[in-house]
Structure 1
């Protein structure tokens, strides 16, 4: 029988609908309160997108459209489940998770970042992951301390 008369989708089409899971970091899933709220919102958005995709009548198109949201829902479910909300640091004398730190670079630039969880980090918006090289180098340091990251020297100017 010709393949044209068979309703089953091809192996190639089936492969399109089976997306690999998003990689989950091996580090503890530390988050701020806002970070947990963002994860929960992203999980809800993935669930909503999945429901919308499931309303598509064509089975092959439904599978293709639901693959991404389903993968995202699995990822965000795991991230919400493993989230460890960290309190806002009370001690402003040293850099810690949740701190906002301002430092000057050896090239004269002054930068300010908040140290946050991996999923909420956005350097362009002023936040870096606690596992990033810069955050690791700054962690536990005080105003005036110098740290070396790669070939650059950073001096902590302020901690908030």
Structure 2
């Protein structure tokens, strides 16, 4: 049917869904088992939300359903490309994907702990940084006692590697 014969009120709104965390083109979607479990739990939550939509207003239900469907499509694509990394297979004395590292920041006595994780699992407030982040890239392949240098616009930050744990 031509769009000329459709009433304005009958037009569906296209759902605006924010993109997932950035994963550069061509980069393998590495995840920890915890990260994969979180993705699957998020998927189940969206499916439950879709199944429990209130059907009082048909148009609102359709819009909400379309929004959830769009989110599920993005999530399913991310899950389909996920490659779970077994942390026990990582070299335990080097920083690699999944490592939890304790770092001394520069000449200060400040110590920070970060885990290098997948892009969807990354959450700086929980001490989890994406393997694609500049800090993670600076830390990869380092060992206890070595320094990692993060170049910044106004100089650089130097981190002393104090501890590496895979858990």
TM-score computed with the length of structure 1 as normaliser = 0.83
Structure 1 segments of 4+ aligned residues over 3 angstroms from their partners:
none
TM-superposed CA distance for 1:102, in Å, is 0.7
Partner of 1:102: 102
Write out per-residue CA displacement over residues 38-81 of structure 1, whole angstroms, 9 at most, x where no aligned residue: 1111111111112222x424222112322432222111111111
Q: CA deviation at 1:144?
A: 1.4
Pairing of 1:1-160 with structure 2 (within 5 A): 9=9, 11=11, 14-15=12-13, 17-20=14-17, 22-23=19-20, 25=23, 26=25, 27-53=27-53, 55-89=54-88, 90-106=90-106, 107-149=108-150, 150=152, 151-160=156-165
Q: Which moved more, 1:18-27 or 1:91-100?
A: 18-27
Deviations 1:93-136 (A, max 9, x none): 11001111111111432111111111111121121111111111
CA RMSD of aligned residues (A): 2.1
Kindly state the Cα deviation for residue 21 of structure 1 after the two structures are TM-superposed. 6.5
Where structure 2 has 5 or more consecutive residues not aligned to the other structure, the ranges are 1-5
Aligned length: 151
How high is the TM-score relative to the length of structure 2? 0.80
Q: Distance in 2 between matches of 1:20 and 1:68?
A: 7
User: 1-side partners of 2:70 and 2:112: how far apart?
Assistant: 35
SS, match of residue 46 in structure 2: helix
